[in-house]
Chains A and B, each alone.
Chain A
Amino acid sequence: MTRQRGALFPYIIWIALFVIAPIALVVYYSMLDLSGNFTLANYKSFFTPVYLKMTLTSFWYAFLITLFTLIIAYPTAYLLTKTKHKQLWLMLIIIPSWINLLLKTYAFIGIFGLYGPINAFIEIFGLEPKQILFTDFSFIFVSVYIFIPFMIIPIFNSLDKLNPTLIYAARDLGASGFTTFRRVIFPLTIDGVKSGIQVTFIPALSLFMITRLIAGNQVITLGTAIEQQFLVSQNWGMGSTIAVFLILSMVLIMFLTGQKKGGRVR
Chain B
Amino acid sequence: MKSLVQATIAIIVVCSLLFFATNRLESAGSKGSKDTLTVYNWGEYIDPDLLDQFTEETGIKVIYETFDSNEAMMTKVQQGGSAYDVAVPSEYMVQKMMEEDLLIPLDHSKIPNLKNIDPYFLDLAFDPKNKYSIPYFWGTVGIVFNPNLIEEHLTFTTWEDLWDSSLKDKVFLVDGAREVMGMGLNSIGESLNAKDEDLLRKATDKLVTLTPNVKAIIGDEITPLMINNEAAVALTWSGQAQDMMWENEDLDFAVPEEGSNLWFDNFVIPKTAANIDGAHAFINFMLDAEVSAQNNDYVGYSTPNKAAMELMDPEVINDERFYPTEEVREHLEVYENLGPEWLGKYNEYFIKFKMSLN
Chain A residues with CB under 8 Å of chain B are 34-35, 50, 53-54, 105-106, 109-110, 113-115, 131, 133-134, 212-213, 215-220, 225, 228-235, 238
- Please tell me if the beta carbons of B354 and A220 are within 8 angstroms of each other in the complex: yes
* Known pairs A231-B69, A232-B176 / 15 extra A-B pairs, C-beta < 8 Å: A106-B221, A109-B224, A115-B230, A133-B225, A212-B218, A217-B218, A217-B357, A218-B357, A228-B347, A231-B71, A232-B177, A233-B343, A233-B347, A234-B340, A238-B344
What residue in chain A is nearest B214 (Cβ atoms)?
Answer: A216
A99 to B69, CA, bound (A): 23
A residues less than 8 Å from B240 (CB atoms): none
Min CB distance, A216 to chain B, in Å? 2
Question: Which residues from B are CB-within-8-Å of A220?
Answer: 351, 354-355
Query: Are B355 and A218 interface neighbours, CB within 8 A?
Result: no
Complex Cα spacing A113 to B226, Å: 11
Check if B219 is an interface residue, CB within 8 A of chain A.
yes
A237 to nearest B CB, angstroms?
A: 9
Whole-angstrom CA separation of A215 from B358 in the bound complex:
11
Q: Does B229 contact A233, Cβ atoms closer than 8 Å?
A: no
A54–B343 CA distance with the chains assembled, in angstroms: 21
Give B172's nearest chain A residue, CB to CB.
A216
A235 near B340: Cβ-Cβ < 8 Å: yes
CB distance from A58 to the nearest CB of B (A): 13
Tell me which of A35, A134, A232 has the highest count of chain B C-beta atoms within 10 A of its own C-beta: A232
Contact of A212 among B72, B175, B358 (CB under 8 A): B175
Q: How far is the CA of A228 from the CA of B354 in the complex (A)?
A: 12
Q: Note all chain A residues with C-beta closer than 8 A to B352.
A: 50
CA A217 – CA B218 in complex, angstroms? 7
Q: How far is the CA of A229 from the CA of B71 in the complex (A)?
A: 11
Cross-chain pairs A/B with CB under 8 angstroms, 29 sampled: A35-B340, A53-B355, A106-B221, A109-B221, A109-B225, A110-B224, A113-B228, A114-B230, A131-B215, A131-B230, A133-B230, A134-B216, A212-B218, A217-B175, A217-B216, A217-B217, A217-B218, A218-B357, A218-B358, A228-B347, A228-B351, A229-B347, A232-B71, A233-B177, A233-B340, A233-B347, A235-B340, A235-B344, A235-B347
Contact A106 B340 (CB under 8 A): no
CA distance A35 to B341 in the complex (A): 9
C-alpha spacing A35/B342, complex, angstroms? 12
Q: How many residues of B contact A (CB 8 A)?
A: 31
Q: What B residues does A232 contact at CB under 8 A?
A: 71, 176-177, 347
Could you tell me if B217 and A212 are in contact, using CB atoms closer than 8 angstroms?
Answer: yes
- Chain B: which residue is nearest A136 at the CB level? B358
How close is B207's CB to chain A, nearest CB, in angstroms? 13
Residues of A within 8 A of B216 (CB): 133-134, 215-218
Number of A-B contacts (CB under 8 A): 87
Whether B341 and A34, one on each chain, are in contact in the complex, defined by CB atoms closer than 8 angstroms, is: yes
A110, A216, A234: the one within 8 Å of B71 (CB):
A234
Closest A residue to B339 by beta carbon equals A34
Residues of B within 8 A of A109 (CB): 221, 224-225
- In whole angstroms, what is the CA distance A47 to B341 when docked? 20
The B205-234 residues at the A interface (CB cut-off 8 A) are: 215-219, 221, 224-225, 228-230
Chain A residues, CB < 8 A from B347 = 228-229, 232-233, 235
Q: How far is the CB of A242 from chain B (nearest CB, A)?
A: 11
**Chain A min CB distance to B355 (Å):** 6
The residue of chain A having its C-beta at the shortest distance from the C-beta of B169 within the complex is A131
Q: Which residues on the A side are within 8 Å of B344 (C-beta)?
A: 34, 233, 235, 238
Contacts of B215 in A (CB 8 A): 131, 134, 216
| Residues on B with beta carbons closer than 8 Å to the beta carbon of A113 | 225, 228, 230
A220 to B216, CA, bound (A): 12
**Nearest CB of chain B from residue A229's CB, rounded to whole Å:** 8
Q: Which residues of A sit under 8 angstroms from B340, Cβ to Cβ?
A: 34-35, 233-235
Interface positions of B from 307 to 358, Cβ below 8 Å from A = 340-341, 343-344, 346-347, 351-352, 354-355, 357-358
CB contacts (< 8 Å) of A218 on chain B: these are 216, 357-358
On chain B, the residues within 8 Å of A225 by CB distance are: 351
Out of B72, B74, B346, B354, name the residue touching A217 (CB < 8 Å): B354
* Alpha-carbon distance A225/B351, docked complex (angstroms): 8
Q: State the CA gap A220–B357 with chains docked (Å).
A: 10
- Kindly state the separation between the CA atoms of A131 and B231 in the bound complex, as whole angstroms: 10
Contacts of B175 in A (CB 8 A): 212, 217
CB-CB < 8 A to A234: which residues of B?
71, 74, 340, 343
Given the interface contacts A212-B217, A216-B216, A235-B340, does A50 sit within 8 Å of B224 by beta carbon?
Answer: no
- Of all chain A residues, which has the CB nearest B351? A50
6 nearest A-B pairs in the assembled complex, by CB-CB distance: A216-B216, A217-B217, A233-B347, A34-B340, A134-B216, A231-B71
Q: Are A114 and B217 in contact (CB under 8 A)?
A: no
Query: Judging by beta carbons under 8 Å apart, are A213 and B225 in contact?
Result: no
Q: Which A residues touch B224, using CB under 8 A?
A: 106, 109-110
CB within 8 Å for A114 and B229 given contacts A217-B216, A217-B217, A217-B357: yes
Scan residues 58-74 of chain B and give those whose CB is less than 8 A from a CB of chain A: 69, 71-72, 74
Which B residues are in CB contact (< 8 Å) with A229? 347
How far is B172's CA from A238's CA once the two chains are assembled, in angstroms?
Answer: 28
